[in-house]
């Protein structure tokens, strides 16, 4: 099971993916901030009874409900992933934070201060 591994680095576009463990091309993304403007003023999370109600909401077709529930289960489980959302316009650049995204599995890694902080390494 000896596989070629190349340490992930801010200076590289090809390294061993922390998610799928493949040596793969990595695309880099800078991050911009978008102010949360919902009425509560805090990040939106749908879980528990609210998620159960969403799962049964007849306003949405079954496949849309499934997608929404899968999305919230991933968010509630602590996953970080890319998702198409409404387009934003922001000039608030998050300096010192980047994402690398694996071409093989499309999973993002989160980098803060030049260090990969997600996914968290286990073991």
Give yes or no for residue 102 binding Zn ion (CB under 5 A). yes
Q: How many CB atoms lie within 10 A of CB 105?
A: 13
Interface with Zn ion (CB under 5 A), residue total 6
Is position 104 an interface residue for Zn ion (rule: CB under 5 A)? yes
Give the containing element (helix H, strand E) for 109.
Answer: strand 108-112
Q: Does 20 bind Zn ion (CB under 5 A)?
A: yes
> Rounded to 10 degrees, what is the CA torsion of 35, 36, 41, 46?
-160
Contacting residue, 33, 105, 112, 117, with Zn ion by CB under 5 A:
105
Point out which span in 13-21, 68-76, 80-88, 109-117 binds Zn ion (CB under 5 A): 13-21
Our CB check for Zn ion shows the closer of 46 and 102 to be 102
Taking only Cα atoms into account, the Rg of the chain, rounded to an integer number of angstroms, comes to 17
Stretch that binds Zn ion, among 43-51, 88-96, 102-110, 111-119 (CB under 5 A): 102-110
Q: Which residues contact 77 (CB under 8 A, 6 or more apart)?
A: none
> How far does CA 82 lie from the centroid of its chain?
5
Taking contact as CB under 5 A, which single stretch among the options 52-60, 62-70, 71-79, 105-113 is the one that binds Zn ion? 105-113
17 contributes a contact to Zn ion by CB under 5 A: yes
The residues pairing with 32 across neighbouring beta strands, listed in sequence order, are 93
Give the binding site for Zn ion (CB under 5 A).
17, 19-20, 102, 104-105
């Amino acid at each position: 099971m000896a596989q070629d591994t190349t340490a992930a680095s801010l200076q590289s576009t090809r390294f061993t993916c922390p998610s799928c463990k493949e040596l793969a091309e990595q695309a880099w993304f800078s991050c911009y901030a978008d102010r949360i403007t919902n009425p509560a003023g805090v990040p939106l999370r749908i879980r528990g009874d609210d998620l159960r109600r969403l799962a049964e909401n007849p306003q949405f077709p079954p496949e849309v409900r499934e997608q929404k529930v899968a999305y919230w289960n991933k968010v509630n489980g602590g996953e970080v992933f890319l998702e198409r959302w409404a387009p934003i316009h922001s000039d608030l650049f998050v300096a010192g934070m980047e994402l690398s995204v694996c071409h093989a599995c499309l999973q993002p890694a989160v980098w803060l201060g030049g260090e990969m902080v997600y996914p968290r390494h286990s073991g």
